[in-house]
Amino acid sequence: MISPMMPIMLLPFLLLSAAEAQQQQGTSNVVKPGNSLTPKSNVLSPSGLYAFGFYEQGDGYAVGIFLVGLPQKTVVWTANRGSPPLPADSKLDFTTDGRLVLQSQGVETRLNIASEGQVLSSGLSKSNQTMGKFLLLMQENGVLAMYPVGTPYTEDYAYWSSVFEGEALLLVEGGILTLDDDGRLYLFNGTGIYTQNLTSRNPTKLLYKLTIDPDWILRLYSHDMTQTGNWTIAWSRPDDGCAPKGLCGLNGYCVLNDRDVDCKCLPGFAPVKEGDWGSGCERNFTAESCSASSEYTMIESNTEWENDTYSRFTSSTKENCRELCLKDCNCEAALFIDGVGECTKQRLPLRFGRTIISTDTNPSTVAFIKVGASTLPKECKKELRLVLIISVSVSLVVFALIVLAISGFGIYKNRVMSYQMMSNNGNIELGEDVAPKSFTYAQLENATRGFKKELGRGAFGTVYEGAISNGQIKEIVAVKRLDRSMLAERERQFHAEMKSIDSNFPDEEVNLKKWANHCFGRSELGKLVNNEEVDKRELEKMVKTGLWCTLDEFPLRPSMKKVLHILEGTENIPESASSISSLISV
């Protein structure tokens, strides 16, 4: 790390000429040992341009050297800049041993008037000379550089240095840096003199001052003594008004419009103190829960800041970077560097913010800021809601079409495979929950093994024995092969034979539905289980559900989903099904 402790002397920014210094030695307008100054008195220089003593600052006073006789008051030097304003009863004593002692409210403070080893710091404002947040110093390597207060004196934090100008101003041990009365910067380094002229002319009636202004730009001003105008800028560095790092405080960023500089807060932030950008910005919302993703959204911002990341991803995309930060409770912002696919997550506070400057050597950067959904303007909310509705609607439609296509294909494939298996195996599989269905001639031919075993003959056809596979059980069935001659008559004959079968067997062996309905209507459900010990409520629920499922009116039947819920006990049979017995045809 480079140390700033190299002796430096900026002699003084507004210099008295050698002649004035000689005149001052013979004048009586001096502070003698044992004398004092009050806020109502000061000491003038022989030229009448400079004064030493108290001047007004804020709601009190400060001690320093300042210009008088000019339309615009200019402070050259202030003692103890970090101290608060002094009250009106303060007094400055020049002791007999040559010390300047400030008496204020019973407290003695020795003024520090040494110029070597000092740094030049900015003021808070043009009217407040309290030490600001930026400074100019000569580093150990002889480079003149400007830094934000409180940052390391390294290249990463310098927002301007003399090296940037192409030829460094190098100061060796014991050297002196001074600005003369013609605006020329002199460097006395013990081996020679290096001169850099900061002005374009060399008049003899100009005053110069070199200051770090409240916007943290180093400027050289000139004032023509023959005119009554204000100070004019002769030279300034850096040229970029947003170059001073931290100009807009924490979580703020600098905007440069031509040469005008403006500060703004990042999306989702508000100034801590209106008009004081040095105080930075703070969150303008509080989320109830980090896990509630609906409370947050990511806003794309044309800003960049110090890339102090805690998590870095490569081979990422812009949208992926956005989602990575949105789902991370610790992530408050993210930077995505296009071209290299790098995504870096950031925590608060965000420092040194400014609008993004993209060049050929500086890849394009996209910034994402996490904000509360409740803080978005109404226009943004409406737009976000519309985009969300459209996105969800399109997603649901596409999902429904996909599900419909998959379901249709699955049903079709299942049925085709079912028929193929029956045909290939020579058996007809009949699922337990499948309703009666028709069969092809080839299927019946396979079931009867080519109509091999004849059981009997009737007027309209011959009956053969066949076998239908029902899971692991083979059911023996009768298959009647009708003659082709009399179509209408043979169908009537077939139904007549079915009725004869119905009359030859008890109801419970032919029509279980009728029997169950009969027992249900007479509260004799025990007959269905041979009066075994069973849970009567479960039995009643199962019988009632079964009867409900076999209603002749198909629209009155429950869905399979409802049936499963009833049997699982998660749903009750509705009251409308209590009269189920009266709806069943017997």
Give the residue ranges of the annotated binding site for ATP. 480
Instruction: Check: CB of residue 377 under 8 Å from CB of residue 268.
Output: no
Closest CA to 128 of 59, 205, 226, 176: 59
Residue 214 near residue 132, CB atoms below 8 Å:
yes
- Which stretch of DSSP H or E encloses residue 197? strand 193-197
Q: Rounded to an integer, what distance in angstroms lies between the CA atom of residue 298 and that of residue 280?
A: 21
What tokens appear for 5 in the block? 């402790």
Query: What is the DSSP track for 99-118?
Result: -EEEEETTEEEE-----TT-
CA distance 128 to 139: 27
Residue 488 three-state SS: helix
Taking the C-alpha atoms of residue 322 and residue 306, their distance in angstroms, rounded to an integer, is: 19
DSSP code string of 502-548: HHHS-HHHH-HHHHHHHHHHTT-GGGGGTT-S--HHHHHHHHHHHHH
Taking a C-beta distance cutoff of 8 angstroms, is the pair 7, 117 a contact? Answer: yes
Packed helices 512-521 and 536-549: angle between N→C axes, nearest 10 degrees: 130
Instruction: Return d(Cα 314, Cα 288) in angstroms, integer.
Output: 32
Could you tell me which residues are annotated as the binding site? Answer: 480
